[in-house]
Structure 1
Amino acid sequence: MSERPKIVVDENMPAVERLWGDSAEIDRWPGRSLRREHLEGADALLVRSVTRVDRDLLDNTSVRFVGTATIGTDHLDIEWLEQQGVQWASAPGCNADAVVDYVLSALWQLAREDGWDPLAQTVGVVGAGNVGGRLVARLKALGMETRVCDPPRAQRENDDSFVDIDRLLSEVDVVCLHTPLTVEGAWPTRHLLDARRLARLKPGAVVINAGRGPVIDNGALLDIARQRPDLSLVMDVWEHEPAVDPALAQHCRIATPHIAGYSLDGKIRGSWMLYQAYCRWLGVDACRSLASVLPPPAVAGLELAAGFDPADAMRLVYDPFRDDRQLRKTLNRTDPEQRAAFDLLRRHYPVRREFSSLLLQGRFDPGMMAQLSGLGFRVSGTEAPE
């Protein structure tokens, strides 16, 4: 490795220059169009989920470290990287809270529009890893009834509290998908929700996919959406993205361009976790803290009056309908233009913070205080009588 290493970076990764400072040469490229020729002389590569990292990309390059600022690693050919002696790192949990914020925001906004109580819903979580596990924890903190399907965990932990996917789909009001995308092994997740399983959804069910697009057969989902207008679909990921089926999007209550985890907190945390892994690989001290590169939020606190709706505080931090409107503007374009617009929405995504960045103050009854804390806000105030 040269005295001042060269690091090729996805153009959408924040804070890389601040984290590495002058210790490395940073060369940025669009992640989806990254090619081998862009890696000439590179010692390290930092990507997000849109870049497939395998032999086709890295063979005969000087890259010896690969980091992905994402929870998932299905876009990395880990077996090949390890065979070649290329060190790799991911950022598990970096944007998990952002995805949970997205799911809860969508659920509370739909509840307000349709006039039902979100706390009274039974929620099924498919995949209880970094994201799904945190979602389950928040749902339980809110006192909500849950069903959890995660066959690998159920087997590993010998835990009979997990349920199978068919039972979950037939019992819950809300289905949240947070599995990795796998096509082999004992529990493949590609098209986990196919036509047969989609038919098991309860009347009026809400389906939220903020995991991997191909976990749902999008063609089958469109068919059942046409047959069952009672269903509410929230789709952040798509089977053939950056292509989005306009017909399917038309049947979605909320349709967004794979940005559920796109909080500034999560993105910077992902970069910082790779910075730490890179320093460990080199055997040097990581001298920059997360706090040193995370800016203060534009709105740090809010004083709430009696009778407020928690959905208002949630929407102040994150409004899923804003992202929905932006995506829908792109769906009447030609296929190449729509694909490019999808990536532009991600590339130029506005600053978004997490619920935990906002301090809510006021006089709260015990139930409301518990709800706000369960949602993920910081809460400070006196208890009002119920």
Structure 2
Amino acid sequence: MIIVADENMPALDAMFGHLAEIRCYPGRAIGPEQVRDADILLVRSVTQVNQALIDAAKTLKFVGTATIGFDHIDVAALEARGIPWSNAPGCNAEAVGEYVLTALLTLAQRLSVSLEGKTLAVIGAGNTGSATARRAQALGMRVLLCDPPLQAAGDPRQFVSLEAALAEADIVSCHVPLIRDGEYPTWHLLDEARLTALKPDTWLVNACRGEVVDNQALLAVKQRRPDLKLILDVWEGEPSPMTALVEVTDIATPHIAGYSVEAKLRGNWMLLQVLAKQLDLGPVADFTQFVPTAEIASLRLSTPVNQSLLARVARLVYDIDSEDRRFRQWQTQAGGFDRQRKAHLNRREFLSLTVGHSGQAAPDLWSELGFNKER
């Protein structure tokens, strides 16, 4: 049996090596030629599992994407062939929530403003949106949830319309899947009219899919509205985002909001569980067996907790400033976008760090934000 996989998927040998021969390629380079004799295909979001690729894979028996989203997979074509497939819902929710929190704390420190009391509109209240909302509430922010599909499905949480969310928000954070048609399309959900109508000094965060925000319109609005602040991890035209938009973005990163060590391992492990069930292999090894120990595993603090301290600790786990600088240096170089994604291998999640205080009880805030609180 042959497994073809994205080379950026960690621990492939440890998780899948006992099942088959593994052939690894850059995600964007996986095409018809690479999958001709593949039995299993394991990808992330940059591989287009389209009709041409599926037609070429004559022996394909399973496709897995170690990501929440699956808009890069032609599900109808797989189902027409009777090929089982799976995504990994929730695998990177904590990583995305922590990315947004770290970015907000970093931008707030640059601008010398407090996040407490600000209104955050979370557009898309699924796994990543909920993880973001929890952390924002822990910081004392007011959170508005907007998710018409979940609201229609009977989710008991309180929701507001998109128009109401955008009208009230100091910060807007996008967490929706990319849907081009149907009852709830999200392609260019934030178009020029909605972007123009944002309150003065609004911050816009996009950590879902680049096409959810009309990038041409965003650039035009930003040029007219320098008061708007942008935190963008995803871009239209990846891996070649608009250079002019990158230049006016306050924090810019190369689609790595969900790229923690734990998130990528968790995505792989979730696919392993599905595959083991498909092949009737019995239970798989516990997820924790695949997670390495963090370089900095504990931290003891002696100063009172404030926003500045939270920002410093968050950036100790994930240095988003350095990521932003590297992105600006590399993104105009050929292959720079994907090189930086590949180099982003060692970011850990907050839970890998145990936080305690000398001389005082550690506040619940640390665990609410996702850190491992010292007992």
For normalisation by structure 1, the TM-score amounts to: 0.92
Partner of 1:286: 283
Q: Which residues of 2 match residues 261-340 of structure 1 at below 5 A?
A: 261-307=258-304, 309-333=309-333, 337=334, 340=335
Give the Å deviation of 1:139.
Answer: 2.7
The farther-off stretch of 178-187 and 137-146 is 137-146
Give the Å deviation of 1:42.
Answer: 1.2
Equivalent position to 1:372, from 366, 371, 374: 366
1:52-73 deviation line (CA, Å, top 9, x unaligned): 1122101142111000000001
Give the Å deviation of 1:136.
Answer: 1.9
Regions of 4+ moved over 4 Å:
363-366
Give the Å deviation of 1:182.
Answer: 0.6
The alignment's C-alpha RMSD in Å is 1.6
Amino acid in the other structure paired with 2:313 = A
CA contact (8 A) 1:275 1:286 kept: no
Give the Å deviation of 1:9.
Answer: 0.4
Partner of 2:254: 257
CA contact (8 A) 1:8 1:45 kept: yes
Q: Secondary structure of 2:177's match?
A: coil
Partner of 1:352: 347
1:280-305 deviation line (CA, Å, top 9, x unaligned): 11111133221111111111100111
Q: Which residues of 2 match residues 196-211 of structure 1 at below 5 A?
A: 196-211=193-208
1:170-224 deviation line (CA, Å, top 9, x unaligned): 1011100010001100111011000100012111111010000000000110011
Q: Secondary structure of 2:4's match?
A: strand
CA contact (8 A) 2:54 2:77 kept: no
CA contact (8 A) 2:256 2:341 kept: yes
Indicate whether 1:146 and 2:140 are aligned: no
Counterpart Cα distance in 1 of 2:249 and 2:359 = 35
Q: Which residues of 2 match residues 29-40 of structure 1 at below 5 A?
A: 29-40=25-36
Give the Å deviation of 1:267.
Answer: 0.6
Partner of 2:244: 247
Partner of 2:49: 53
Give the Å deviation of 1:361.
Answer: 0.7
CA contact (8 A) 1:166 1:200 kept: no
Counterpart Cα distance in 1 of 2:284 and 2:179 = 37
Partner of 2:102: 105
In structure 2, relative to structure 1, the CA distance for the partners of 1:249 and 1:152 (3 Å cut) is same
CA contact (8 A) 1:142 1:374 kept: no
Counterpart Cα distance in 2 of 1:142 and 1:160 = 20
Amino acid in the other structure paired with 1:6 = I
Give the Å deviation of 1:135.
Answer: 1.7
Counterpart Cα distance in 2 of 1:244 and 1:188 = 22
Counterpart Cα distance in 2 of 1:286 and 1:57 = 31
Give the Å deviation of 1:160.
Answer: 7.8
Q: Which residues of 2 match residues 215-254 of structure 1 at below 5 A?
A: 215-254=212-251
Amino acid in the other structure paired with 1:93 = G
Give the Å deviation of 1:365.
Answer: 7.0
Counterpart Cα distance in 2 of 1:171 and 1:123 = 9
Indicate whether 1:195 and 2:192 are aligned: yes
CA contact (8 A) 1:48 1:70 kept: yes
In structure 2, relative to structure 1, the CA distance for the partners of 1:287 and 1:160 (3 Å cut) is closer
For normalisation by structure 2, the TM-score amounts to: 0.95
Q: Kindly, what percent of the aligned residue pairs are identical?
A: 44
Q: Secondary structure of 2:13's match?
A: helix
CA contact (8 A) 2:174 2:208 kept: yes
Q: How many residues align?
A: 371
Give the Å deviation of 1:144.
Answer: 2.3
Q: Secondary structure of 1:292's match?
A: helix
Counterpart Cα distance in 1 of 2:225 and 2:197 = 12
Counterpart Cα distance in 2 of 1:231 and 1:121 = 15
Structure 1: stretches of 5+ with no match in the other structure: 382-386
Give the Å deviation of 1:322.
Answer: 1.1
Counterpart Cα distance in 1 of 2:139 and 2:245 = 32
Counterpart Cα distance in 1 of 2:371 and 2:110 = 22
Q: Secondary structure of 2:290's match?
A: coil
Partner of 2:177: 180
1:230-260 deviation line (CA, Å, top 9, x unaligned): 1110000001110111111111110000011
Partner of 1:156: 153
Partner of 1:384: none
Partner of 1:19: 15
Structure 2: stretches of 5+ with no match in the other structure: none
Give the Å deviation of 1:140.
Answer: 3.1
